[in-house]
Amino acid sequence: MKFYSQMASLKWPASFQGKIFLVCFVSTHIPLLSLLAFFAVRSEVGGSLPVLAIATLATLLGTGLAFAAMAAMMEPIRRSSLALSDYLERGDFPDLPTGYGDEAGQLMTNVQRAVATIDRQVGRLADVALTDDMTGARNRRWLNAYGIPMFEDYKKAGKSFGLLVIDLDKFKAINDTHGHTVGDQVILATADIIRVNIRATDHLVRTGGDEFCVLMPSAGGSDVALAAERLRKAAGQSLRGIGLDQTVTVSIGAANLHRQDSGFLDTYRRADAYLYKAKQDGRNMAAVAS
């Protein structure tokens, strides 16, 4: 790396390709030009001019061809470097040719494979970071990074959007009576019930210990009301079969995006207020904001 470091410190030529060309020029053309100068000095200038002219033109032509060929041969390195830069800066996935066996071809192949591997791993890590590890639902990090921006996009576009806020009834009593292991089973079962009873386009988010919300893009008022009641009934029926000596139910608050809502928090607070109303009215209820 010592010679490379010395060459890299040169201000001119600035490019890697230019530095390689400089090395080639110095090692081949200076001796040739020195030989031409020697013959020019030792012989009559007049008689040497045609030979010098031809040799000089041939040298310049060869230099130009060498530079063009070198630029073409540097293309794999240039493409590999550009592919890495585009992936790091913009996330653009490269499309490098991978059918060449020499060192430059192997460089392109290895860059393509490395980026593909990194991209898969980053995708998996991102998915893990955005997923609740107990239930497999989305978590608050996903809600902040993707859920709320999605809501805001629908608001700007004037589209409908529904929101359900779901809470297990008397969950603390379940934990106190049966222990946290049973409590975890109840949470898992609740998440599964919700997942089965919402649309494929809806998004289930675990927002707290026994609290969930469901984001419902393009859902109108009747869609939200029907979904809330369907989930309440399904939870009340399915949670009887998990080995508890008591009925486990959920309360649900539901709301739709209103034109006057300034953002996600307004809609969420309205749904949460109706969840509180469902609790106050006796639990095991679905209360829908008007």
Residue 223 CA to residue 233 CA, distance in Å, equals 16
Residue-by-residue pLDDT tens, the chain, 290 positions:
677 677 678 788 777 777 777 777 777 667 666 766 766 666 555 556 666 677 677 777 877 777 777 778 778 888 898 888 888 888 888 888 888 777 888 888 899 999 889 888 888 888 888 999 999 999 999 999 999 999 999 999 999 999 999 999 988 888 888 888 888 999 999 999 999 999 999 999 999 999 999 999 999 999 999 999 999 999 887 776 566 667 789 999 999 999 999 999 999 999 999 999 999 999 999 999 98
> Quick one: pLDDT at residue 104?
80
> Quick one: pLDDT at residue 47?
59
Q: Edge-to-edge strand order for the sheet containing 250-256? A: 203-206, 211-217, 161-168, 250-256, 286-288
> Quick one: pLDDT at residue 197?
94
> Quick one: pLDDT at residue 1?
67
In sequence order, the 6+-apart residues with CB closer than 8 A to the CB of 189 are 238, 239, 242
> Quick one: pLDDT at residue 24?
75
> Quick one: pLDDT at residue 258?
95
Q: Could you give the 3-state DSSP secondary structure of residue 100?
A: coil
Pairing of strands 250-256, 286-288: parallel
User: What six digits make up the tokens of 83?
Assistant: 């592919």
> Quick one: pLDDT at residue 42?
64
> Quick one: pLDDT at residue 31?
65
Q: Are residues 144 and 213 in contact, defined by beta-carbon separation less than 8 angstroms?
A: no
Residue 162 CA to residue 227 CA, distance in Å, equals 10
Whether pTM > 0.85 for this model: the answer is no
Q: Which fold has domain 140-288?
A: Alpha-Beta Plaits (3.30.70)
> Quick one: pLDDT at residue 46?
55
Q: Are residues 231 and 252 in contact, defined by beta-carbon separation less than 8 angstroms?
A: yes
Extents of the domains making up the chain: 2-120, 140-288
> Quick one: pLDDT at residue 128?
83
